A and B are shown apart, each in its own frame.
Chain A
Amino acid sequence: MAYNVLIVDDSSIIRSTIRKVLQISRIEVGEIFEAENGKDALQQIEDHPINIVLADINMPVMNGLEMVDIMAQKGMLDKLPVIIISTERNVTRMAELKAKGVRAYLNKPFTPENIQQVVNNIMGAGDI
């Protein structure tokens, strides 16, 4: 099954990098959608069939924490996996996000292997 991915980050270079990693990895990727902030991301989720979300925290307009809060309130996190990719190191924040239903937390800088492993673990695609 091919997975539709939503990349949420205000940095175009991060979005491009993640897109490249997904495209060259063994993850079966369908369509890749992009959003610059949490508000845009929620709209994309409404408009397109998304199977997994990779999101930053620090973004203008609506940050990743606010986006996760809204998704949690709407019960979306049970069915739509969210992986947070951020520079933040705070363990309390990571624990709070996981408690809300975020599936995984990756620190920046990340390697292509980090992304592949986390996505594969969550989507159950087996060995990289």
Chain B
Amino acid sequence: MFSEAADDTPPNLKGEYFHTTITFSGNGPEGSLNLCMPRQLCMDMAANVLGTSPEETSEALAEDALKELSNIICGELTAALYGNTEVFHMSVPSLYRIDKGKWQELSADVDCVKFLVADQLVFVCFMASEEES
């Protein structure tokens, strides 16, 4: 699967979306990562990982795939931003099923980055703050 930048064209949203949230906290930095994908894309992704077809993939596995992806992205981002000596506690990802209205509300955040994967719209929001010492 390949990704590309999404332009400002209003998205043609339909169907259900899976939204995950994972939080992280350390001695200084803390924040969260939110990732949202169309349900079908999550099914496709899970099928790709397992080497099966989307039809053979359960929704439970698709949900797990998105949670694991958010886990991996959060780990990579925190390491890239803060180095590999900072100890972080990361939460277990939470997953929510959302509709078009909620998708629009969440994706309106200024920290939200939208892109296309397999012509389907995905957004990710990464927010972090550092406690003042």
Contact = CB atoms under 8 A, between A and B. Distances in A.
B51 interface: yes
A91 B84 contact: yes
Contacts of A59: 92
Interface stretch (A10-18, A46-54, A118-126): A10-18
Contact of A88 (B46, B60, B61, B75): B75
Name B's interface SS.
helix
A108 B71 contact: yes
A92 B87 contact: yes
Given A12-B60, A13-B61, A58-B92, A90 B68 contact: no
Report the interface size class on chain B. Answer: 20 to 34
A11 B20 CA distance: 14
A91 B67 CA distance: 24
Given A10-B92, A88-B88, A108-B72, A17 B64 contact: no
A89 interface: yes
Closest 4 pairs (CB-CB, A-B) = A87-B75, A89-B79, A13-B64, A89-B84
A90 B92 contact: no
Contacts, number: 59
A11 B64 contact: yes
B1 interface: no
Interface string A91-121: 1110000000000000111000000000000
A86 to B, nearest CB: 8
A20 B52 CA distance: 11
A14 B84 contact: no
Contacts of B60: 12
Contacts of B133: none
A88 B75 CA distance: 6
Nearest to B50: A16
A60 interface: yes
Given A11-B67, A12-B64, A13-B64, A87 B72 contact: yes
Contacts of A108: 68, 71-72, 75
A86 B79 CA distance: 13
Contacts of B61: 12-13, 16
